[in-house]
Structure 1
Amino acid sequence: MRRWENTVYKLVDYLVAILAWYLFIQYLNANNYFQPTYNVNKLYKIGLLIVPFIWFIIFTLFEQYNDVYRLSRWSVFSRTLLLSLVGCILFVLLLMANRAINFENRVLEAIFRYFMIYFGLLIFWKMSFLSFISSRIKNGVVGFNTLIIGGDQRAVELYNDITSLKYSLGNKFKGFIHSNGGRTNELIQFIPQLGGLADMKRVIEEENIEDVIIAIESTEHEKLKSILDDLYEYENSVLIRIIPDMYDILLGSVKMNHVYGAILLEINQEMMPKWQIFIKRIMDLSVSIIMLIILSPFILYIVLRTKFSSPGPILYEQERIGQNGKPFQIYKFRSMYTNAEDKGPQLSSDEDPRITSWGSVMRKWRLDELPQFINVLKGDMALVGPRPERRFFIEKIMARAPHYKHLLKVRPGITSWGQVKFGYASTIEEMLQRLKYDLLYIENRSLGLDIKILFYTIWVLFQGKGK
């Protein structure tokens, strides 16, 4: 990661926001927007502390401060245009709440002036800096340590396509690893062979790989899936691309950022944008706090019923595996007799003798899950996400379905697509069947889908389909 360029990019953006705010306040003052007795200097100073910071947060949430060497000028221009327009509208609307500022019929004029000042300064800076960055890449001054997976004729053609381009794309090939057991390694005449698929992680770390290009046949689905499974832990540090086939191109999956670039399909394993992740977390916290407050009298009733239903604690704590494989303690209202798992971990079933009579009522309406709102507040869980499991069962699932580890990329949830579509699982086989729904959720994550799952969950709760 080239740190100084990213630091300069962010810092100058911040300074541009300060300058634009100063010029905008000067414009308002010169055009008699303020009442004569109003302290304009105070507004200016308050804005200096708040406005640039808010602009920084907005651009961060919309992923405009990723590695500057990966940014497309056209993408930056279009997003900066949109974000600047929306932001300027919001800031002027906030200023309208101040009765000492007289906008009258000049609101649109004020928005336009602020937008022209801020966007004009910002886009001039961004395009100038990104053009400088682009020239460094094209001239080979900087580049990305690149690894090719595959060594046959397909890989050779890709290598020749990239190295014969008029302008460099920044790929500095460190070598390749074979994907066919070493049977055909035609690429070795151009770059060194660094091992096989078993050596992939070692090579990525030792060679500080930033780009991985998978040059195998896209029809080799199992091999491709296995490679992507092994690469998922590097999704935030390594750009992963494959050679598309004609079907991918016709589907519109291939997006070109460089007119003279090689045709490659970028694999993006993080489907939800940062701004949606931020809003999702705010929604998780808000809903959890509201539900705990609204349901507090009912929760007190559940506490008393649980206390007197059978001997034992009110809350049941159990270790589950969360995001990135981190263990945490999940909270539930106790629905089983104490020492229910003396014989080892077991999945519950419809006629489970370990469940108390009150526990069966709670499970039917999923009331035992209410304490998990506390897990959400602690950051261990989300409202929506794959259900967390114990390490014992995860190991059993992973032995048969290694791609289960993709579920660990996100926070587990109180409810999930798998929970809504399939329900609770009583066996490993049922957990494997439910897995496909949770994998679909991971690949299609969005705020809209989360809200849809929450509504379906409410419907399931009213039907009393828990167990």
Structure 2
Amino acid sequence: SLVGGGGGDHSPLCGGRAAVRRPASALVVGPGAGASAVAAALHGRPEYGLRPVGLADTAPATEADGGALPLLATHEDIRRAVIQNSVGHAVFTRPPEADERTASLVRLFQDHGCRLWLADPAGTARITGMRVAHPTDQLWGYAVQPLLPRPARPLERWAKRGIDTALALVALLAAAPVMGACALAVRIWDGPGVIFRQERVGLYGRPFTLLKFRTLRADEHEAATRWTVAGDRGMSPVGSFLRKSSLDELPQLWNVVRGDMALVGPRPERPFFVAKFSTVHPGYEARHRMPVGITGLAQINGLRGDTSIEDRARFDNHYIDTWSLWQDLWILARTAASFFRFRLGGS
């Protein structure tokens, strides 16, 4: 077995005697006394080959007691500890999807090549969003399971990228007359500078330059730290129409061709608001596990403009957790249907 079986015969959690001589750095992730107990067990039993270097608490600070270990309360503290200590293992004390904050840490650890484990102090954990890599065993009496994320399905991900690129190129050609008319209207009504460029946050938090038709007048601009909606006083009738109809998003088809975005995915936001929303809504940062998109599950459910950020994050994470090519095609069909309804309704 990976970990100790019984009768005091323990094999290292990481495998091999070398792991006992040079234990790997690990973070214990979880709330309260349960996480502290697992950390203490690892610290006192070097035969498992893990050396706890910190406790990433997922509960209010008043409930935590890291003991001799550093207590890591924020996402940035945890990221810094992973880098500084070359952490190779993350030991969760309850399922990663148990709450939004815990779930958001999974991507951080995966991005840094960490192996994920579940050491359940109560022995009652049920895992739905992750799959068990090996049968349940024990770590000094605690039920433990090596975890892997749901299969990455690389072929489907490559297929998504290929379909996105092909559809975006076809859409660019088909929409060329409409885009030309939009550009001309913006130029005549609002002056020079037809294309608006702004930094947005994409996959894994990487910035990119998003393209849109400009919807504010030449003497106005969409600030990086000001929340703007379709009723702004600086918006002309042309700009208002472009936003309400989503025609201002058409240049983002080129973002899709370049690989900055996908056709379907969480909508990208400005860095200032990503930082702000990630602090207020723990599940918001987890949206960046997937390429950002022109449309998404949140948008076809009416969550556009000045709507609930918490609701958007919940829909976005549900889309990622249940992603499939068929779901993408369904969302694209719903988006197209809503666009044609807008045109026929004349609103």
Normalising by structure 1, what TM-score? 0.56
Q: Give the corresponding residue for 1:445.
A: 323
1:234 is matched with which residue: 106, 109, 113? Answer: 109
Does the residue aligned with 1:279 lie in a helix, a strand or coil?
Answer: helix
CA contact (8 A) 1:422 1:434 kept: no
CA contact (8 A) 1:145 1:207 kept: no
Identity value in percent = 24
Q: Give the corresponding residue for 1:105.
A: none
Which consecutive unaligned segments of at least 5 residues does structure 1 have? 1-69, 71-136, 164-170, 186-192
Which whole-Å deviations, capped at 9, do the CAs of 1:104-163 have from their partners, x for residues lacking one? Answer: xxxxxxxxxxxxxxxxxxxxxxxxxxxxxxxxx865356872525265445667899995
Shift of residue 285, structure 1, vs aligned partner: 0.8
CA contact (8 A) 1:319 1:329 kept: yes
CA contact (8 A) 2:131 2:149 kept: no
Distance 1:383 1:246, change over 3 A: same
2:180 matches 1:297: no
2:120 matches 1:204: no
Shift of residue 375, structure 1, vs aligned partner: 0.8
Q: Give the corresponding residue for 1:195.
A: 70
Q: Give the corresponding residue for 1:93.
A: none
Does the residue aligned with 2:132 lie in a helix, a strand or coil?
Answer: coil
Give the counterpart letter for 1:316 in structure 2. Answer: F
CA contact (8 A) 1:333 1:368 kept: yes
Give the counterpart letter for 2:312 in structure 1. Answer: R
Aligned residue runs from structure 1 range 60-459, under 5 A: 139-140=16-17, 145=24, 147=26, 149=28, 152-153=36-37, 171-175=48-52, 177-178=54-55, 179=57, 181-182=64-65, 194-198=69-73, 200-215=78-93, 221=98, 225-230=100-105, 232-236=107-111, 237-244=113-120, 245-246=123-124, 248=126, 255=132, 257-258=134-135, 263-266=143-146, 268=148, 272-341=152-221, 345-426=225-306, 430-459=308-337
Shift of residue 412, structure 1, vs aligned partner: 1.4
Distance 2:278 2:114 in 1: 24
CA contact (8 A) 2:96 2:103 kept: no
Shift of residue 283, structure 1, vs aligned partner: 1.0
Give the counterpart letter for 1:462 in structure 2. Answer: F
CA contact (8 A) 2:186 2:238 kept: yes
Aligned residues: 311
CA contact (8 A) 1:365 1:462 kept: no
Give the counterpart letter for 1:391 in structure 2. Answer: P
Give the counterpart letter for 2:330 in structure 1. Answer: K
Give the counterpart letter for 2:206 in structure 1. Answer: K
Distance 1:434 1:256 in 2: 32
Shift of residue 462, structure 1, vs aligned partner: 1.6
Give the counterpart letter for 1:147 in structure 2. Answer: A
Which consecutive unaligned segments of at least 5 residues does structure 2 have? 3-13, 29-33, 58-62
Distance 1:252 1:294, change over 3 A: closer
Distance 2:259 2:52 in 1: 41
Larger displacement relative to structure 2 (352-361 or 265-274):
265-274
CA contact (8 A) 1:210 1:238 kept: yes
Give the counterpart letter for 1:235 in structure 2. Answer: Q
Distance 1:153 1:259 in 2: 19
Give the counterpart letter for 2:164 in structure 1. Answer: D
Distance 1:344 1:241 in 2: 39
CA contact (8 A) 1:272 1:446 kept: no
Bigger proportion of residues as strand: 2
Does the residue aligned with 1:389 lie in a helix, a strand or coil?
Answer: coil
Distance 1:194 1:368, change over 3 A: same
Shift of residue 373, structure 1, vs aligned partner: 0.7
Distance 1:219 1:142 in 2: 26
Q: What CA RMSD, in Å, does the superposition of the two structures yield over aligned residues?
A: 3.8
Does the residue aligned with 1:340 lie in a helix, a strand or coil?
Answer: coil
2:339 matches 1:464: no
CA contact (8 A) 1:288 1:376 kept: yes
Distance 1:458 1:153, change over 3 A: same
Distance 1:203 1:373, change over 3 A: closer
Instruction: Tell me which structure has the larger Cα radius of gyration.
Output: 1
Distance 1:463 1:266 in 2: 49
- Which has the bigger relative contact order, CA under 8 A and spacing at least 6? 2
Give the counterpart letter for 2:235 in structure 1. Answer: I
Distance 1:349 1:210, change over 3 A: closer
Distance 1:302 1:229, change over 3 A: closer
Q: Give the corresponding residue for 1:168.
A: none
Bigger proportion of residues as helix: 1
Distance 1:253 1:397 in 2: 26
CA contact (8 A) 2:190 2:217 kept: yes
Distance 2:177 2:129 in 1: 54
Which whole-Å deviations, capped at 9, do the CAs of 1:163-192 have from their partners, x for residues lacking one? Answer: 5xxxxxxx5112353456437x6xxxxxxx
Distance 2:193 2:91 in 1: 54
